[in-house]
Amino acid sequence: MHLSRRDGALDLLKWLALLSMLLDHLRYVGISADWLYVPGRLAFPWFCLVMAANLARDGARKTEWRYLGWLLLFSLFSEIPYRLYIPDPDTLNVMPTLALGLLVARGWQDRVLVSRLLAVGALLVAALFPERLMFGLFGVLLPLATLLVFRKPWYFSLLPGLVCLAANQWQVLFESAQFGNRVAVLGIATCLIAPLSGMFLLRHATYLHAPPLRRWAYALYPAHFLVLLALRQLLV
């Protein structure tokens, strides 16, 4: 797969990941919409796929630290809006998970000692404090799993699909599925096929051109919590 300097399919995947995230968080706006959990399972693996695509692109080493800096910066900016909107959150917002995942994936990709040490440190943090990270240790490993199969045949996408399922409390999903919960069954299926569907889009939708998402898009993460919070206040 060749990624041009401005890849329309990649921009489209970013927009779809944002839409999936928005649908997922609409569950907390005060309406009965548990089924939104299913499309919401696409957001995180697609964001990880976007990260893998950027790392696989030529010249990634020139932008990786800037990429990490933006993730860390908006990790801080997003935490208060996240806690205001999500009822009784058990974890930090998703940005720290993505930041640690970036360090792990780049440490595998880059043989420089500093990158390797940062990757090991990120893995130790994820292993010691999985309960504080959204999607836990497997969420931190998902960008690497996606990067490993980025240029492989489509069936290798089952690997990040399994990692995605493990990151999404698979035990709870399986227990619910055994009792015939359709949302759980569809959630399991969505986790498994999310990386594959994203790969398919990047490889076969190159003729599409979505509006580019640049650095300003990071602000959409904390901003959407505030907008949904305002909407919930109107509905209550």
Sign of CA dihedral 161, 64, 75, 53: negative
> What is the pTM (predicted TM-score) of this model?
0.93
Q: Is 168 in contact with 37 (CB distance < 8 Å)?
A: no
Q: Per residue in 189-211, pLDDT tens?
A: 999 999 999 999 999 887 888 88
Query: Distance between CA atoms of 236 and 225, rounded to whole angstroms?
Result: 16
pLDDT band with cut points at 50, 70 and 90 for residue 2: very low
Q: Per residue in 149-201, pLDDT tens?
A: 999 999 999 999 999 999 998 899 999 999 999 999 999 999 999 999 999 99
Overall number of domains in the chain? 1
Domain assignment present for residue 3? The answer is no
Domain assignment present for residue 1? The answer is no
Domain assignment present for residue 186? The answer is yes
Q: Is the pLDDT of residue 60 over 60?
A: no
DSSP the chain: ----SS-HHHHHHHHHHHHHHHHHHGGGSSS--GGGHHHHTTHHHHHHHHHHHHHHSTTGGGTHHHHHHHHHHHHHHHHHHHHHHSSS-SS--HHHHHHHHHHHHHHHH---HHHHHHHHHHHHHHHH-GGGSTTHHHHHHHHHHHHHTTTS-GGGGHHHHHHHHHHT-HHHHHHHHHTT-HHHHHHHHHHHHHHHHHHHHHHH-TT--PPP--GGGGGHHHHHHHHHHHHHHHH-
Domain assignment present for residue 226? The answer is yes
**Domain enclosing residue 194, as ranges:** 8-235
Domain assignment present for residue 171? The answer is yes
Range with the poorest average pLDDT among 16-30, 62-76, 121-135, 146-160: 62-76
Domain assignment present for residue 169? The answer is yes
Q: Per residue in 70-108, pLDDT tens?
A: 999 999 999 999 999 999 999 999 999 999 999 999 999
Two structure tokens written together for 222: 């904390």
Domain assignment present for residue 89? The answer is yes
Domain assignment present for residue 2? The answer is no
End-to-end CA distance of the chain: 48
